[in-house]
């Protein structure tokens, strides 16, 4: 069946997930961290306890959402729309959690359907909330049933130079490293599958670009301290090709910042960004 708008509000049962130090290290190198970030890329460096990037929440969270309720869509025509995380504490290098999620909204964009999902993850042993995630997927070819198009509010960026700018280069094989954190969608590795979605070559995972952007925010706004990172919300606006250079521009106002990420051609690839920090 096609997308089912009646699924809005459906909640899923609890989903369990555990992770190890190795999982956190693999994620770190998957989003481009290296020898200058040993707190995140090693677990046995002298006087350097292992820490975890806040955006690791997108790997651990999102569980418990009843995806079987939303109907069907062509995965080759699906792209990530938006992603948000809210950190309620620092993510430890290893642990176990329980997630509960729901279908928050389904919007009719005419040529596509947008499905929004929300989830909260808690420490499996103590029940203490760890973080919340919010995400949406954009399913091309699944709209047109006459439903609500959804909110249209946009972030207004200042007409001023950014407070901070950070540029990272992605590798040509970046997606092959990132996929080992769990997203094995062939859109990011198989040229034939990517062609079915209208792409000349496999594209980088949107959440990998999100991770690169989160790295820049963490270092520029929080001096690399994950305990100060509170939230990050953004919209994916254009695919990134492995090998692209990513520049994150930030406009700071108190304990909040607006941000967007562009490629080497100046094209915006992550837009409508908002970050909270301490």
Catalytic residues: 183, 188, 203, 206
φ, ψ (nearest 5 deg) of residue 191: -55, -35
The strand order across the sheet containing 229-236 reads: 15-19, 95-108, 112-123, 129-140, 78-87, 229-236, 268-277, 256-262, 245-253, 164-169
φ, ψ (nearest 5 deg) of residue 21: -55, -40
Three-state secondary structure of 10-72? CECCCEEEEECHHHHHHHHHHCCCCCCCHHHHCCCECCECCCCCHHHHHHHCCCCCCHHHCCC
Q: How far apart (Å, rounded) are the C-alpha atoms in residues 208 and 270? A: 11
End-to-end CA distance of the chain, in Å?
A: 46
Rg for the chain (alpha carbons), in Å? 18
Q: How far apart (Å, rounded) are the C-alpha atoms in residues 252 and 120? A: 28
CA nearest 234: which of 258, 276, 277, 270? 270
Q: How far apart (Å, rounded) are the C-alpha atoms in residues 278 and 222? A: 7
Is residue 100 exposed (0-12), middle (13-18) or buried (19+ Cβ within 10 Å)?
middle
Q: In the beta sheet, which residues pair with residue 258?
A: 251, 274
> Residues 28, 31, 36, CA angle at the centre, nearest 5°?
60
């Amino acid at each position: 069946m096609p997308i089912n708008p009646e699924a809005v509000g459906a909640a899923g049962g609890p989903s369990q997930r555990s992770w190890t130090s190795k999982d956190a290290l693999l994620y770190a190198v998957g989003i481009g961290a290296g020898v200058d970030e040993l707190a995140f890329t090693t677990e046995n460096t002298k006087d350097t306890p292992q820490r975890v990037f806040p955006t690791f929440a997108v790997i651990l969270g999102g569980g418990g959402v009843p995806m079987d309720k939303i109907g069907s869509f062509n995965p080759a025509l699906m792209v990530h729309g938006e992603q948000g995380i809210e950190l309620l504490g620092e993510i430890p290098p290893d642990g176990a959690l329980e997630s509960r999620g729901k279908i928050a909204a389904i919007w009719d964009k005419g040529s596509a359907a947008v499905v929004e999902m929300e989830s909260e993850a808690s420490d499996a042993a103590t029940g203490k909330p760890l973080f919340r995630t919010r995400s949406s997927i954009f399913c091309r070819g699944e709209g047109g049933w006459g439903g609500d198009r959804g909110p249209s509010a946009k972030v207004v960026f200042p007409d001023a130079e950014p407070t901070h700018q950070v540029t990272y280069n992605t590798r040509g094989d970046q997606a092959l490293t990132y996929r080992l954190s769990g997203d094995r969608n062939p859109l990011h590795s198989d040229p034939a599958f990517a062609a079915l979605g209208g792409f000349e070559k496999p594209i980088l995972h949107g959440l990998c670009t999100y991770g690169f952007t989160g790295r820049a925010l963490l270092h520029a706004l929080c001096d690399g301290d994950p305990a100060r990172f509170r939230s990050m919300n953004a919209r994916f606006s254009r695919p990134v090709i492995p090998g692209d250079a990513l520049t994150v521009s930030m406009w700071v106002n108190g304990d909040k910042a607006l941000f967007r990420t562009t490629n080497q051609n100046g094209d915006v690839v992550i837009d409508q960004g908002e970050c909270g920090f301490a």
